[in-house]
Structure 1
Amino acid sequence: MATFSESTVGKDIGIDLVDLCYCSDCQKHKIDQQAECYCKKCLKFYCAKCVIKHSKKFVKHVPYVKEDKKMWPFPEKEFHDFLQKCGLHEDKDLEMFRKERQCAEVSVQGDPDQVFSVEGKTEYDVSLRRDSLKNTCIEAICVLSYDQILVADSNNKNVKLLNHQYHPVGHCHLNMDLFDMCKISASEVAVTVDKGETHAVQFVSVNGGRLVKGSKLQFQHKCIGIAHNQQDLYLTSGTALYKYSMQGDMLEKLYEDTSALKTVSKCAVSPSGDKIYVINFYHGKVLTLYRDGTVLQTFTCSCGSGLPAPIDSHQDGPGDLFVACKSGSSAGIASVCESGIAFFWMTDGYFIEPDLHTRPRPCGIHVTTLGHVLVCVSGSETILQLDGEGKKKLATLTFSGSGRHKGRHNYPRSVFYNRHTASIIVGQSFSTKIIVFKVK
């Protein structure tokens, strides 16, 4: 019998039940592969691959696809006949959900402090022949299903569709600078894009194995980081965090830090929606906010503190940010880029060598469906795992990137946990490859 690996009472906690259905056959092998069909006669869910085997064996059975979800076993009585027990706790029935909702909370949140351990590492080339730049810069990663992995390549201004072997099988060119991407549904993502005075969120969907551009929401401020939780969009501008409706109506400004630029860059939301994690790239910190914007915790990366006092700045697209700084009687320029921060102090009208105190910064963040917090540290070859409160470091994933490009290291730029294969996917800057870690 198929099970739900997350809450089976989606309506009670605002989760779409369709997205919580997993292939019955795959789960026998401890693989969470999202279901694409449901067979009413077998009382089983099937993924796109397993339904082919099923249809060959049972030619008279007619599986129902997601578009026919009214025929799937919820929320009528058939649902209770289909699944009387919780998929995670066999000794507890569904009535417990409605009365206590304790299992629902555990199912959705899991144990965010369980540390990942690495079993192996593989690199995959995600470049395309038609890419204008040889080396990619993977700003964001989203896993929609076992066979649909999306990566956002800022160097080539496109979103690429990868199959389960991490081979590119499609792409969608956006013709704009792109900064981040988040999952909206089982077949759609939202991408933050920018070009001149246009600051927008572009929706992209997977349709028939192809990437298709959908609607676009435009905003008055820059759109850098993005996260989605239930019916809300969270956007960062570089110095502020905003909460919007899915129609683009601003609900509130949750947090702001105008002490410098890139103080509010990337963001992520906990599965329950009560915590929001924010990257302060400039000062090398990860902030944990309550849902109303109140700062709960501040984690400072061991890579150091912030820059000297900024007095002016300039940025050209999604690349390097140049900041004029002053410290005492000295002045200079700092280059704030994906590889960290380098100081160029001016002495007697000439720039001297970069300050040796160049420091890496947190640049990307991902929260898994079970609440694990993963942070990319640029200027290093590490991924940090923080506790669910965002208060302390639980573990450090250290790896060697795939070389250098024109003197620059290929640093981690984005990270995503693929629950279908129990793998951590890492996107790099200045590289054609992503790195996939098998974990447990």
Structure 2
Amino acid sequence: MDRCAQHDKELEVHCDDHQELCCSVCVALNHRLCSSISHLPDLARGFLSTSEFKQLPAAVDKMKSRLDELKNERIKDQGTLYDSYKNIIDDIKALRKEINQILDKLEKKTVKQLDNMIEDLEKSIKDDLETFARMHDQLSTMIEKLKQITGKNKDFGNIESVRKYDSNHLFKARSSSRNKVKRMNDKDTCTILGICELPNGQLVIADYLNSRVKLLNRQYEIIDRLDLPASPQHLCHTTGSEVAVAVNDFSSTSDEIHFLTLTKGKLQNMRKFTTDHQCISIAHNKGQLYVGSGNALYVYAFDGSFVKKIYKDTSFIHTVYSCAVSPDGETIYVANTHASKLITLDTSGQVLSTVEDPDLQDPTGLCVSPSGHVFVCGSRSNTVVQVDQEEKKKLSTVAREADGLCNPRSVCFSEQTSNLIVGNYGDNITVFKLR
């Protein structure tokens, strides 16, 4: 029996008026005026047999079942909550990964763009520096020539006489150097049949036996090469950084003209066209290509379309071994190797003159400088001869075997440095400083 917290007495009566259990002391003190007070044993009598009591276990079981249901629901809710939490965390991690990937791509793209920008800027600066160096060399050459002119001709009022003197200036080899142009992977001895100068001062050379062209820097060092499907017989500068190459395949009745360009310091093959004859020499002037086949000279447009045949000599092979064109395009020079002659033509193919000289045996390499100086290689005489462009005669023998020539096959005059570059049969080119 429960006890009264106030009087420590057993609770033994029930006050019907106040609806509370009381002890005997509480009744005496607080319920004296209550009309209905019942003794607890009397109230409890017969309670166990009531229907309410009998239904109590079922009600308790029902409540217990409901509690179990609520518990299971809460446990299930707890699992769902954890799964949701895990899914949210996974989503956050996936989003973070996706953001990181986007940032990585953005970083790589930005770095690549910056690298390209830096590379372009470095190339631009390098090109500018090379241009400055070239202009410096040109100015030095101009000053030297002016000094020579003032020593020879005091009358500067006669500009024509100055121009004529400069175009017919007699060049002589002052010194020479040999520069190796063979790479480790070259299978054969180098045979340099063509040389041309690019606007930036670099050289492109045609290595016949190794079927490739090579790019040389201003120090005549190989900095790039490009393999071709057949042997490059000759080449010439066209416009900008582009070079046209006569590619000769003796096993075929047709040859090709390949156009190469210099892009970011590398030679690239851009396009080509095919001819129905052999191509062993090529020259360019004012958008036209002059192609020698060995015994005829043809003209092609820059897009490869045929224009005309302007000269032919079928008396023997190599009557048109190499060709060159004057800066004004009015005069065409042809090297007849078989007859050891330099032939001068007009634009219609009419022979204007021929030059023969003991120092000009088996002429091969031929070039005309931008100022009109004409140079011819004598491969058998081991010489380079300068020819008068107006009177069509030998002006001087610029270089000989004693100066370092050995079977010269190609020649290029650098207007930027006034050097004469000669391609030999062998693994070297010879560079002459002229006076």
Of residues 422, 432, 439 in structure 1, which corresponds to 2:427?
A: 432
Of residues 174, 185, 193 in structure 2, which corresponds to 1:119?
A: 174
SS in 2 for 1:111: helix
Residue in 1 aligned with 2:409? 413
Distance in 2, Cα, partners of 1:296 & 1:400: 31
Q: 1:147 to 1:290 in 2, by over 3 A?
A: closer
Question: TM-score, normalised on structure 2?
Answer: 0.62
- State whether residues 234 and 241 of structure 1, in contact with CA within 8 Å, keep that contact through their aligned partners in structure 2: yes
SS in 2 for 1:220: coil
Whether 2:283 is the aligned partner of 1:227: answer yes
Q: Deviations over 1:156-184 (max 9, x none)?
A: 11100011110101000103022110111
- State whether residues 287 and 390 of structure 1, in contact with CA within 8 Å, keep that contact through their aligned partners in structure 2: no
Give how far 1:402 is off: 9.6
Question: Greater helix share, 1 or 2?
Answer: 2
Residue in 1 aligned with 2:241? 187
- State whether residues 134 and 416 of structure 2, in contact with CA within 8 Å, keep that contact through their aligned partners in structure 1: no
Give how far 1:261 is off: 1.2
Distance in 1, Cα, partners of 2:302 & 2:367: 21
Distance in 1, Cα, partners of 2:373 & 2:172: 13
Residue in 1 aligned with 2:264? 208
Whether 2:418 is the aligned partner of 1:422: answer yes
Distance in 1, Cα, partners of 2:218 & 2:343: 33
SS in 2 for 1:145: coil
Residue in 2 aligned with 1:370? 371
Equivalent residue runs for 1:94-133 within 5 Å: 111-133=166-188
Q: 1:372 to 1:291 in 2, by over 3 A?
A: same
Residue in 1 aligned with 2:343? 287
Asked which structure has the greater CA Rg, the reply is 2
- State whether residues 200 and 218 of structure 1, in contact with CA within 8 Å, keep that contact through their aligned partners in structure 2: yes
Letter aligned with residue 153 of structure 1: D
Distance in 2, Cα, partners of 1:216 & 1:114: 38
Distance in 1, Cα, partners of 2:406 & 2:288: 34
Give how far 1:301 is off: 3.1
Any stretches of 5+ residues in structure 1 without a counterpart? 1-21, 34-87, 89-101, 305-359, 404-408
Q: Deviations over 1:347-401 (max 9, x none)?
A: xxxxxxxxxxxxx311110000000000000112210000013621000023337
Distance in 2, Cα, partners of 1:164 & 1:147: 6
Q: 1:390 to 1:377 in 2, by over 3 A?
A: farther
Letter aligned with residue 262 of structure 1: H
Q: 1:401 to 1:218 in 2, by over 3 A?
A: farther
- State whether residues 136 and 155 of structure 1, in contact with CA within 8 Å, keep that contact through their aligned partners in structure 2: yes
Of residues 290, 298, 313 in structure 2, which corresponds to 1:257?
A: 313
Equivalent residue runs for 1:10-21 within 5 Å: none
- State whether residues 152 and 178 of structure 1, in contact with CA within 8 Å, keep that contact through their aligned partners in structure 2: yes
Residue in 2 aligned with 1:178? 232
- State whether residues 173 and 399 of structure 2, in contact with CA within 8 Å, keep that contact through their aligned partners in structure 1: no
Distance in 2, Cα, partners of 1:265 & 1:283: 11
Distance in 2, Cα, partners of 1:32 & 1:191: 32
- State whether residues 378 and 384 of structure 2, in contact with CA within 8 Å, keep that contact through their aligned partners in structure 1: yes
Equivalent residue runs for 1:61-72 within 5 Å: none
Equivalent residue runs for 1:312-391 within 5 Å: 360-389=361-390, 391=392
Q: 1:161 to 1:31 in 2, by over 3 A?
A: farther
Give how far 1:32 is off: 8.1
Equivalent residue runs for 1:271-286 within 5 Å: 271-286=327-342
Residue in 1 aligned with 2:61? none
Letter aligned with residue 435 of structure 1: T
Residue in 2 aligned with 1:149? 203
- State whether residues 112 and 373 of structure 1, in contact with CA within 8 Å, keep that contact through their aligned partners in structure 2: no
Question: TM-score, normalised on structure 1?
Answer: 0.61
Give how far 1:234 is off: 0.5
Distance in 1, Cα, partners of 2:344 & 2:186: 37
Give how far 1:283 is off: 0.9
Question: Greater strand share, 1 or 2?
Answer: 1
- State whether residues 286 and 300 of structure 1, in contact with CA within 8 Å, keep that contact through their aligned partners in structure 2: yes
Letter aligned with residue 298 of structure 1: T
Count of residues in correspondence between the two structures: 289
Q: Deviations over 1:239-283 (max 9, x none)?
A: 111111111222111011111111111000000000000011111
Q: Deviations over 1:153-211 (max 9, x none)?
A: 00111100011110101000103022110111230111111223241101111110011
Percent identity of paired positions between Structure 1 and Structure 2: 36
RMSD: 2.8
Q: 1:286 to 1:144 in 2, by over 3 A?
A: same
Deviates more, 1:109-118 or 1:288-297: 109-118
- State whether residues 146 and 420 of structure 1, in contact with CA within 8 Å, keep that contact through their aligned partners in structure 2: no
Whether 2:396 is the aligned partner of 1:395: answer yes
Whether 2:294 is the aligned partner of 1:238: answer yes
SS in 1 for 2:401: coil
Give how far 1:103 is off: 8.6
Distance in 2, Cα, partners of 1:26 & 1:245: 31
Q: Deviations over 1:290-348 (max 9, x none)?
A: 111111111123269xxxxxxxxxxxxxxxxxxxxxxxxxxxxxxxxxxxxxxxxxxxx
Residue in 1 aligned with 2:91? none
- State whether residues 280 and 322 of structure 2, in contact with CA within 8 Å, keep that contact through their aligned partners in structure 1: yes
- State whether residues 202 and 217 of structure 1, in contact with CA within 8 Å, keep that contact through their aligned partners in structure 2: yes
Q: 1:395 to 1:170 in 2, by over 3 A?
A: same
SS in 2 for 1:136: coil
Letter aligned with residue 423 of structure 1: N
Residue in 2 aligned with 1:40? none
Letter aligned with residue 234 of structure 2: D
Residue in 1 aligned with 2:110? none
Letter aligned with residue 181 of structure 1: L
Letter aligned with residue 294 of structure 1: Q
Distance in 1, Cα, partners of 2:424 & 2:272: 27
Q: 1:167 to 1:303 in 2, by over 3 A?
A: closer
Residue in 2 aligned with 1:41? none
